[in-house]
Amino acid sequence: MSGGGPEADEPFPPVPEEPRHPSGPAAGEPPDDSAELSAGDVVPGGFGWARVAGRVVPLAATGVALYLLMPQLLAVFSAFPRLRAFQPLWYPAMVLLEVASFACVWQLQRIAISGLSWPLSVTSQLVSNSISRIVPGGIAVGGAVQFRMLNRGGCDPAAAGFALTATSMVTTGVVFGLPLVVLPVIFFGQPAPAGLTTIATTGGLAFALLAVVGVVLARSDATVRLLARAVAWLARLTRRSVPADLPDVLVARRRDVIRSLGRRWPAAVLTAAGKWGLDYLALLAALAGAGQHPRVSLVLLAYVAANVLAMIPITPGGLGFVEAGLTGTLALAGVPAAAAAVSTLAYRLVSFWLPLAAGAPAWVAYRVRYR
């Protein structure tokens, strides 16, 4: 025996290699990845069926929704001429309130992600917010963009993912918990219209459900591992690679996030409450600018309903749903239809369109700082 290799004892001569097919890649050239795709995976134009469906279906749903909501949108945007009667001193107040509301979001991210700098928190959130208000189903897309920006900025990807999930659950839980503040007033004090009472009850139930989900994710390693396996399965469907130890990584990072929030959970909850409270005050300022001063408890319920509608991932940023829902619920709160349209328009100009315009400068600042 020589060399210790199995070929040293092989009694037969080596089998010659089969000639390469003329259509295959030449020697030294990389293989053609497209050859691995079957004919059923692509359409004649070369696009994957899943990719085409992922583009067409959301756009079609958005188009149908905007078509159905077009009367409400036109009713709101037709109030532009009436903005001349809007008291102009309320505009800077609304802008300051919205800036403070966004600052609460940036601080909440810094609480959840240890070592996150202000520039990275501000720029990544503004870009994510803008994308989520442009693309149909943009909440998921915006979250993915912010995740990549945080990762490129030096944040641990697993920790950033769990931190973003935790902050989203905290902020969503707070907005669903806001009706609980109003329920005692409704049941033991001044009654509210049936529609707003339903909103308050539904918000309380949603808050309880989110609380249960949050406790399960915080305490159950098995649930986190099951979530990791679901993520890996989805990644395989989209032909993306995931680390084999993803369940262990997610469990470890979940513990890190809980440890970080555990010491500062009162600050996290107060910051999330500040985000919604300041935004709610901006809506009250819009109503005051239109000369309306309805019951603040009923306006709070209308505000909660509008933000729940904004979570519907059909139109970008809930466009159309929020305008229709807010004008309708403000009318239930006793605001005249014309004033409700003007207030909704002024509020959305400051809370939706102005932050949307801030996304491009934030992206430029991010690219300059994190090249």
Neighbours of 361 (CB within 10 A): 13
The segment with the largest mean pLDDT, out of 146-160, 244-258, 287-301, 305-319, is 287-301
Sign for the pseudo-dihedral over CA of 344, 305, 332, 186: negative
pLDDT, position 332: 87
Over range 54-65, report the average pLDDT.
61
Tokens of 156: 């641990």
pTM of the model: 0.73
* Helix, strand, or coil (residue 23): coil
- Closest among 304, 341, 311 to 323, alpha carbons compared: 341
Q: Measured on CA atoms in the order 273, 279, 281, 287, is the torsion positive or negative?
A: negative
Distance CA 43, CA 227 (A): 32
- What pLDDT digit, counting tens, does each position of 291-322 carry? 999 999 889 988 988 888 777 767 777 777 88
Average per-residue pLDDT for the chain: 77
